[in-house]
Amino acid sequence: MTTTGPRRETGAPTGRTFERSRILGIAASDLTPGGVHSNIRLAEQPFPLFFDSASGAHLRDVDGNDVIDYVMGMGPMLLGHRPKAVIDAVIDQLGRGILFAGQHELEIEAAEQLTRLIPCAERVRFNVTGTEAVQAAIRMARAATGRQKIVKFQGHYDGWADSVLVNVSSRGHKVGPGRLAAVSETLGAEQAVLGDVIIGEWNDALGLESIFSDHASSIAGVLMEPVMANNGVILPRDGYLQRVRELCTDHGAILIFDEVITGFRVGAGGAQQRFGVVPDVATFGKAIASGFPVAAVAGRRGLFDPIADGRVTHAGTYNSSAVGLAAAVTTMDILSDPGAGIYETLASRGGQLMAGIREVIAAHSAALHVQGLPMLFSIAFTTALAIRNHAEAATSDAAALQRFRACLAEQGVRIAAKGTWFLSIAHTDDDIGRTVDAVDRALTTFERA
């Protein structure tokens, strides 16, 4: 990394080719729609690549290119790719059993860790995906209140189930004070569910007050990412989460924090600990198990009573698999070990990276904006000084972002589709320095194109 300020790089071609990925992509597309197994991967730049191996903060693609990865499995790999302690625990567990369809002691250990770390967590159920955990939380909210409607926010992603795959990218028009029309993001969705979702603009406390004054008696729960992280990274305004908490308490609605991204990433106790606002129930996934498919719904004791006595169904063949929980227990052990200094490391390396990128941007006079937290931040092409909600995010130049992602990929740096950077403790000072230089070169090629 340059120590005397950013160097203007030449942006010369790197000679990287993606030929084998391209050929494999053609073969895959014949067998698999789009050649990918999750639609988010369709947006990969320069096109969906094939990877051969991963280690620390690096990926190696099938063309032999080394890539500094800031996608990190879309968030899970907070400890880096293939963290040794997690792999050792998993190998040990593989020798004793994979899936018992019965109880095992790791379930208690993992639940104890969660309830110790997460402020709202008095009880826990494990799932495989964040999508399922969110559905469980919604069901719990409806069962507890006897009400139907869920408030969800424009621009938030809470999984791909019909009831929440609404207003993620597509904006609804205004239909009332603080309220937008619900728009499904997918063909083939059940349309009836749209009647039970109320869409608000996030970070707008007055808007939520209006929604409550119009619909209080029918609102079962308010569901939100406590840091909006699926359309760029947007932090809650000062006092916003506190006000949401008060409104839910006053109106008897269940506050659900979807911490699938923020959980274990923005702190060992998630965003609820970082911002000091405790929801009634929260969902976790991603960083909880270092890439093994584990998710959790955790919350107030009483909300789980109808699950305990079977009135609310919560199920899943792969829930609490022994292998997944071995990974989760070891991951949570590491994350919660004060001696490991995970969050200090993330804060200092991420801070260094954000500062380095900002210096390069200033040297280029580029209209590229960086915001978020050191372990979770995003870039957007805009002249705005801050992006505070989806409406503002939507005014940034999305096409320019995709072109720039392709320039970054050409320089060996991979970031997530919406311009999001997921840091890990495996990103070294050297990785950060090389990344900042790569951003410099990528901006040069971007500006020339």
Residue 84 bears catalytic tag: no
Q: With 0-12 CB in 10 A as exposed, 13-18 as middle and 19+ as buried, what is 370?
A: middle
Q: Give the shortest CB-216-to-ligand PMP separation in angstroms.
A: 26
**Of 69, 70, 240, 286, which residue is the catalytic one?**
286
Tokens of 7: 């160097």
Q: Which three-class secondary structure state does DSSP give residue 292?
A: coil
Which residues are near ligand PMP by CB under 6 A?
Answer: 74, 129-131, 134, 157-159, 225, 230, 258, 260-261, 285, 295
Whole-angstrom distance, CA of residue 368 vs CA of residue 437: 16
What token pair was written down for 186?
A: 């997918």
CA 166 – CA 197 distance, rounded (Å)? 9
Angle between helical axes of 105-117 and 322-335 (0-180°, round to 10):
30
The answer to whether 157 is a known catalytic residue is yes
What is the token pair recorded at 223?
A: 């569901």
Output the smallest distance, CB 155 to ligand PMP, in A. 11
What whole-number distance in Å separates Cα of residue 431 and Cα of residue 56? 10
Q: Which of 70, 157, 240, 343 is catalytic?
A: 157
CB nearer ligand PMP, residue 261 or residue 360? 261
Q: What is the side-by-side order of every strand in the sheet holding 376-381?
A: 368-373, 376-381, 420-422
Q: Residues 414, 47: contact at Cβ < 8 Å?
A: no
- What residues form DSSP beta bridges with 68? 58, 413
Minimum Å gap between C-beta 130 and ligand PMP is 2
Peptide bond into 46 cis (omega under 30): yes
Given the structure tokens 């969902």, which residue do they identify?
Answer: 283
Count of H-run helices and E-run strands, the chain: 13, 16
Return the CA Rg of the chain: 22
Strands 376-381 and 368-373: antiparallel
**Comparing C-alpha atoms, which of 107, 161, 110 is closest to residue 134?**
161
From 61, 69, 258, 440, the catalytic residue? 258
Name the DSSP class of 193.
G
Shortest Cβ distance from residue 30 to ligand PMP (Å)? 26
Q: Which residues are CB-contacts of 4 (< 8 A; sequence separation ≥ 6)?
A: none
- For 48, residues 6+ apart whose C-beta sits below 8 A from its C-beta are 21, 25, 34, 35, 36, 41, 42
**Measured between alpha carbons, how far is 286 from 77 in angstroms, rounded to an integer?**
8
Question: Is 258 annotated in the active site?
Answer: yes
Q: How far is the CB of 405 from ligand PMP (least distance, A)?
A: 18
Chain position whose Cβ is nearest to ligand PMP: 130
- Closest residue by Cα to residue 167 from 182, 145, 179: 182
Phi, psi of 394 (to 5 degrees): -70, -15
Q: Quote the least distance from Cβ 214 to ligand PMP, whole Å.
A: 26
Tell me the two tokens of residue 341.
């200094």
CA–CA separation, 394 and 392 (whole Å) = 5
Give the active site residues.
157, 258, 286
